Each structure stands twice: as C-alpha cells, then as structure tokens.
Structure 1
C-alpha cells in the first residue's frame, strides 16, 4: 500500500519558504552596500586614499553573503536523509587553526584573541569542513555579541576520552531561561541591547547538528551581562591518549 507523503512534502515546502524569506531579508543589507560602492567605484567617486578601505569593506560584505548562503545550504541538507559526511582522521588543532584563519579579519578588529591549547596532535574522526564550520560559527557568535576591546578566548584540550574546544566571550550573555532557544532552527534571542546584531538564527543550530553527527556534544554556560562559554566535545580517535 502506498503511504501518503503529503505531510513530509508540506513540511519541506514550508521550510523552503522560510529559507527564501530569510535569504531575502538577510541578503538585502550587505547586497545594497556592495551595489552602492560598486556604483561609486564605476563612476570614479571614491577618492584614492579611501580605495583600500572600500575594497576591504566590499570583501567583508561578500564574505558575509557567502557565509549566509553556506549556512542556509547546510541547514537544508540537515533535513535530507541523504546527507553524507567526509569522515577522516583529523588533528583537531589543525581544525582550530582553520577556523582562526577564516575568522582572522574579524579577530583583527577591536577584540583581543586569547589562544590556549597544546600544539601536540589531538586525533579525532570527522568532516574537516563541517567541524571548521562549527568553530567559525562559535567564534563569529562571540565576536558579534562582545563589546569592543573584549577578549575572545579559544581553548582546546584533551579531557578523558574526548577532545574539547571552548570559545568564551565577555559579551552580553543570555538569561538562563532563554538558553534552550539557542540551538533551535532560526532561534535568535533579540533584546534591546543586541537588536543591532544581524544573524540567521542558523549558526548554533548547525553547530549542534554537526557536532551530534560526529558523536559529540555542544553545551553552553552563560550569565546575562557576563558573557558565554560554548564547549564542543568530540570523541578521541583510536590511538588518542586520553587524560583525566
């Protein structure tokens, strides 16, 4: 007997609509800035001494749009049963380095990066691109919600039979009652203090989904007004030396 798949199809159509609305809303601002400056460049209205600043801004906005599209595509894939991960043996320290390199333009701004962790290899099994996405999402989140001059701490270690990465900020923090919303799809906690921060509400949702698919976990500790600490825990690969 043929089963009625109408419910699943309806859910998929609703999800597509949500993504399209989100894309239209979130892409409008950076795209408008890019179009405006490209028009000024074409008409020769940018003074030579401002050229580097404008090109840096354009690069930043195109990166912002690319990251948004990547997030939406990855979120759409999580709804598909056919999603595949390229699982290989990795050094977690290399993944941390990948994420820090990707986020370097933001971290070179008004924040101070504090790195804490051994350079010795920490073996895990995982999809390097997706694990890098987890860490870049957490670091990006820390930068967005931190005050100028605040520290962004990225630390990594081996704890028991797990490889652990922690990202800590000195930002706005989250009320304990709202913590459950952080990892939901499109779940953003908007307050008068952070209403200026742009975002899709997909970054932490994807971070948890990817981490879970690696057999790991992601948790958060936060106090309103005192910042947040996100902890990613992944099983060590065979041959990794666990510590207590």
Structure 2
C-alpha cells in the first residue's frame, strides 16, 4: 500500500471509532508496523488533521473534520451502491426514492474512471418476493423516531383483530419479508414489534417520550438478548 493511501485509510479507520484506537490496532488492520503508524499519525497531525491522543493510549479523530467527497475507493463506491440497491428493494417508499436519488448523485460526483462501478456494478441486490405495501406513510414514522415523539396507531394483528396503541417508536427493522416498527407500547408496558403493513392509521403526537431513542434502542437490544438466552 502506498503511503498516501495508508494515510487516507488511517483517517477512515479513526472515523469509524468513537473511542481511542491504539497504533497496534491500526497497524493490524492495515498490515503494517506500529512504527509506521506512529510516523503516519505524526505526519497527519503536522498536516493539521485533528487527531488527539498519544502513543500507548490511543488516537481519536475529533469531530467536525471532513474530507472531499470524491476521495472514495472503488470498493467504497460499490458498497454504497449495493446498500442503496438494498434500500430500493426493501425500504419504504420514501427511502426507496432517496436511494435512487443517491445512486444518481454518486454517479454524477465520482471521477469518470470510477463511474462504471456505479452504472454497471459487479454486485446486484435483488428481491424474489415483493414486500407488503404500507397503508400509512412510513416517512412520518421515521420522522417521529428522529424527533422522539410518541405515535398513536391503529393496528391489526395477524388475526385481523384491531387495537389502538400509544407507542414510543425507536427504530424500523427492514427484514427480508416485512418491515417492523420497534416501539415501547404504553398499553403492554413493554417493547413490541408492529408490522408496518398492518398499521391502519398513524398520528404523530406533540408529546415526546421521556427517554432518547438511542437509550431505548439499547434497552430493547438488552431485552432481546435476554430473551434469546432464555430461549436457549
């Protein structure tokens, strides 16, 4: 690997981690020596890249640092296009449109020599069976998740039994066959999963739920892990 490429990769690695990362860990990923990483970090700092830390402790890339968007490798471009393709076939209508626009923007932004990777990718996301159509606008649900607002939903379960719920939406899971709204249900006082195609109506309330979505997501994962261990 050329040194210029390695310097770029070091920045990318640090961007992926919020906690300090040691030179040993960086060297292992880049398959080079720790001494080389120390020299490269010093070079980046001299070029005013905001890296904080020291040898033996670890390094962190401070927030607010960005690089030109065209500095993407061929694999990174293909990964982005493949991810957008998956969203096109599995995401809700709003995200599917956004994914299509994203691919077009990537094609317009990358250098000419990399454009075939976008327009004629080696990887292709397909779907054998169409997902059930949603009755409600899932874009509104995603907006409620971002803003931390409660939802009032009318729902029908697999036996078509209706219920009205007030929920705290925390994430939407895009699975192979369905999309699921994960939420804290005030009626059941527990986390519940709601298929988005079974939601008959949705109202975004002004009231915010008392905990941040990220905190609730962590609690939900902990609950799911505990249930999995119990099932085992």
Would the TM-score normalized by the shorter structure come out above 0.5? no
Q: TM-score range by the shorter chain?
A: under 0.3
TM norm structure 1: 0.22
Q: Which has the larger radius of gyration?
A: 2
